[in-house]
Amino acid sequence: MAGYDVVIIGGGPGGYNAAIRAGQLGLKAACVEMRASLGGTCLNVGCIPSKSLLHASELFELAKDDFVKFGIDVTPQLNLPVMMKQKAESVGQLTKGVEFLFKKNKVEWIKGRGRLAGPGKVEVVAEDGTSSVLETRHVVIATGSEPSPLPGVTVDQQRIVDSTGALDLPETPGHLVVIGAGVIGLELGSVWRRLGAKVTVVEFLDRITPTVDAETAKTFQRSLTKQGITFRLDARVTGATIKNDGVDVTFEPVKGGEPETISADYVLLAIGRRPFTDGLGLDSVGLTTDRRGFIETNRARTAAEGVWAIGDVTYGPMLAHKAEDEAVACIETIAGRAGHVNYEVIPNVIYTFPEVATVGRTEEELKADGVAYKVGKFPFTANSRAKVNHEAEGFVKILADAQTDRILGVHMIGPDVSEMIGEYCVAMEFGGSSEDVARTSHPHPSRSEALRQAAMGVEGWTMQA
Ligand code: NAD
C-alpha cells in the first residue's frame, strides 16, 4: 500500500482540522475515525447538540416567561420529540459538512479503530473485524477525551447519564440531580430547568466553575440560583442507587458531617473529562501517558519520532478551538512551516443565560503572580441596548497591566457575550492596550459598547451611567 505523509487518529475538531489543513498543504493524508460520522464528541454529542438544546430551551423559556414583558401574550407547548429532531438534523448537516471538506481537500476517511503498530505504522480495525496497516511518515494522535467516572455512580445512560445521555433524555425530569458545577453540569442543567425540571447541582468545592474569575463566578451563581437552580456546595457524592423509576443520590459535607440522600428522576454525572487513549498502542512506539493519562508533548511533538498529539489527549484546556489551533500548528510544522499557538489567548465560554465568556488571566492569577494591574468594569444595566431588550444582567471586566496598559484578561457575564469575546481575543493577539479599545468607535446602541466602556473604565473615564 502506498504510504501516507500523515495519518490522523481521531476525527474530532483536532483531527478533522489537522486532516483538512494537511490536504490544503498538499500532504497525502488520512483520518481514522471509528464513529459513524466525523466531528468527534464536539459535533456528535458535545458542543453542537448542547448548543442546539440551549438555544431551543431558551426560546421556550422566553416565550413562556418573557414575551409578556414585550406585550406578547402566548402559551407555548413543549414538543420534545421535535426539539430533539431539529437538533439531530443540525448535527447531521454539520458532520456531513466535514465529510464534504475531506473530499474537497482529498483527505481519506478510513472507518475503523486506529492504533499505533510500531514506528510509521497505524493499524485500523474495521467494524466487521477486518484489519489493515497504514504506512505513514507522521501520525497525529487526536483521540480526545471521555467523561471521568466517579466510584459509586455507575452511568447506565438510562437514569444515570453523562453528557451524551443528558442530550437525549426521553422526557423532562421531575428532578434532575447534577454532579459537578462545571461547564457541562450548568449548561445541560440549564436546558432541563428551562424545559421544566427541578435541578439540584451537587459540587465538591465551595464555589461553582472553579476556573472562572471568582467575582464573575459569584455573579453567575446568584443568577442561576434566581432562575431556580439549587446548589449544594462543599458536598462529596458517595453513591447513586437506581430505584424503580428514579435514583437516590447520597452525599456528605466535605468538611465532615452527616450524609444526606436526595431522590432524583435522573442524575447527570459531569465531574470533568479524562484523556482517551485506550487501546492506542502507545507502547509500540515507546510512549507512555502521565499519571492522569495525558500524552506529554512539546509543541505537539511527543517523545517518539514522527508521532504528534493534539487536543484533549494532551495538556491545556479541553476545548474544541484549542484543539483546532493545535491541529493547524502541528500540520504546518510537519509541512516545514512555523506552526504557533498562543495559549495566552484561548477564550472560554459557558453558554448558559447569562453567558460567561473569559480570556486571559483572572484577578486571582494576577494577584498570585504579583502582577500590578488596573481594572475597568461596566455593568449591562448601564448599556442602552441590553436595557431595552430586558437583558441587563451582568458586566464586562477588563484587567490591564498597571505599567503598560496591555490587556491581560477579560471576564464577561451577560447576554450574548460569547459573540463579543472575539473582539478582545483579537486585541490581545495584537498586544493591544485597554486604551486601544477605549478609543475604538463602537456602534450605538449595541451591547458591544459595554466592551468599550469597560476599557474606558481602566483609566476612569467611563461615560454611560
Ligand atoms: P469541569 O471541569 O468544567 O467541571 C467539573 C466540576 O465537577 C468541577 O466544578 C469540580 O469541582 C466538580 N467535581 C469534581 N469531582 C466531583 C465530585 N466527586 N463531586 C462533586 N463535584 C465534583 O468538567 P465538565 O463540566 O465535566 O466538562 C468537561 C470538559 O468539557 C471541560 O474541560 C470543559 O472545558 C469541556 N466543555 C466545554 C464546554 C464549553 O466550552 N462551553 C462545554 C462542555 C464541556
464 located within any domain:
no
417: Cβ below 6 Å to ligand 1? no
* Local structure of 154: helix, strand or coil: coil
* CB crowding 136-150: b at 16 or more within 10 Å, else e: bebbbbbbbbbbeeb
Determine the residue type at 32.
V
- Asked which of 321, 341, 361 is the last residue of a domain, the reply is 341
Which of 50, 183, 191, 200 has most ligand 1 atoms within 8 Å of CB, for mutation?
183
What CATH number did the domain enclosing 394 receive?
Answer: 3.30.390.30
Boundary-marking domain end, from 223, 241, 271: 271
Contact 306, 138 (CB under 8 A): yes
Pairing mode, strands 131-141 and 198-202: unpaired
- Regarding whether 125 and 13 lie in a shared domain, the answer is yes
Pocket probe mutation, ligand 1, options 211, 271, 318, 349, max atoms within 8 Å of Cβ: 271
Q: How far is the CA of 272 from the centre of ligand 1 (A)?
A: 4
Q: Is residue 68 part of a domain?
A: yes
In a mutational test of the pocket of ligand 1, which residue from 204, 209, 251 has the highest number of ligand atoms less than 8 Å from its CB? 204
59 and 142 housed in the same domain: yes
CB 342 within 8 Å of CB 194: no
Task: Given the residues 55, 175, 321, 444, select the one marked as catalytic.
Answer: 444
Instruction: Confirm whether 453 is domain-assigned.
Output: yes
Residue 224 cell numbers, joined: 442561576
Please indicate, yes or no, whether residues 262 and 200 belong to a single structural domain of this protein: yes
Kindly state if the Cβ of 350 falls inside 6 Å of ligand 1: yes
Kindly state whether residue 366 falls inside one of the protein's structural domains: yes
Nearest to 36 by CA among 45, 28, 24: 45
Q: What is the pLDDT of residue 464?
A: 67
For residue 53, give its domain range.
4-147+274-341
How far, in Å, CA of 381 to CA of 453, rounded? 12
Strand partners, 242: 247
Distance, CA of 455 to chain centre: 27
Q: At what angle do helices 80-104 and 13-24 cross, to 10 degrees?
A: 30
Rounded Cα distance, 274 and 94, in Å: 25
Indicate if 98 and 143 belong to the same structural domain.
yes
Whether residue 30 is found in the same domain as residue 132: yes
167 within ligand 1 shell (Cβ under 6 A): no
User: 485597554: which residue's cell?
Assistant: 434
- In the residue annotation, 390 being an active-site residue is answered as no
Count, residues in the chain: 465
**152 located within any domain:** no
Written as tens digits, the pLDDT of the chain (465 aa) is 469 999 999 999 999 999 999 999 999 999 999 999 999 999 999 999 999 999 999 999 999 999 999 999 999 999 999 999 999 999 999 999 999 999 999 999 999 999 999 999 999 999 999 999 999 999 999 999 999 999 999 999 999 999 999 999 999 999 999 999 999 999 999 999 999 999 999 999 999 999 999 999 999 999 999 999 999 999 999 999 999 889 999 999 999 999 999 999 999 999 999 999 999 999 999 999 999 999 999 999 999 999 999 999 999 999 999 999 999 999 999 999 999 999 999 999 999 999 999 999 999 999 999 999 999 999 999 999 999 999 999 999 999 999 999 999 999 999 999 999 999 999 999 999 999 999 999 999 999 999 999 999 999 999 866
* 323 and 441 together in one domain: no
Residues 11, 141 share a domain = yes
Query: Do residues 330 and 211 share a domain?
Result: no
Report if residue 206 sits inside a domain: yes
Q: How far is the CA of 185 from the centre of ligand 1 (A)?
A: 7
User: Which atom of ligand 1 lies closest to the CA of 273?
Assistant: 28
21 and 169 both lie in a single domain: no
Q: What is the pLDDT of residue 244?
A: 86
Regarding whether 8 and 141 lie in a shared domain, the answer is yes
84 in a structural domain: yes
Question: Which of 319, 341, 363 lies at the terminal end of a domain, its last residue?
Answer: 341
Domain for residue 208, yes or no? yes
**CA 58 – ligand 1 centroid, Å:** 22
Q: Which residue has the cell 449544594?
A: 232
Q: How many structural domains comprise the chain?
A: 3
**For residue 2, what pLDDT is reported?**
60
Residues 279 and 265 in one domain: no
Q: Residue 116: CB partners within 8 Å, gap ≥ 6? A: 9, 122, 123, 139, 141, 280, 281, 282, 284, 285, 287, 307
Instruction: For residue 47, give Cα distances in angstroms to 110, 171, 450.
Output: 24, 21, 27
Q: Which amino acid belongs to residue 318?
A: M
Q: Give, in order, the Cα–Cα distances in Å from 288 to each of 33, 284, 292, 294, 302.
A: 22, 10, 11, 9, 10
Backbone angles phi, psi at 198, to 5 degrees: -85, 135
pTM of structure: 0.97
Pocket flag, ligand 1, residue 325 (CB < 6 Å): no
Residues 74 and 182 both lie in one domain: no
Q: How far apart are CA 55 and CA 298, in angstroms?
A: 38
* Residue ID of nearest Cα to ligand 1 atom 4: 182
Q: Which CATH number is 265's domain given?
A: 3.50.50.60
Q: Which cell goes with 128?
A: 466487521
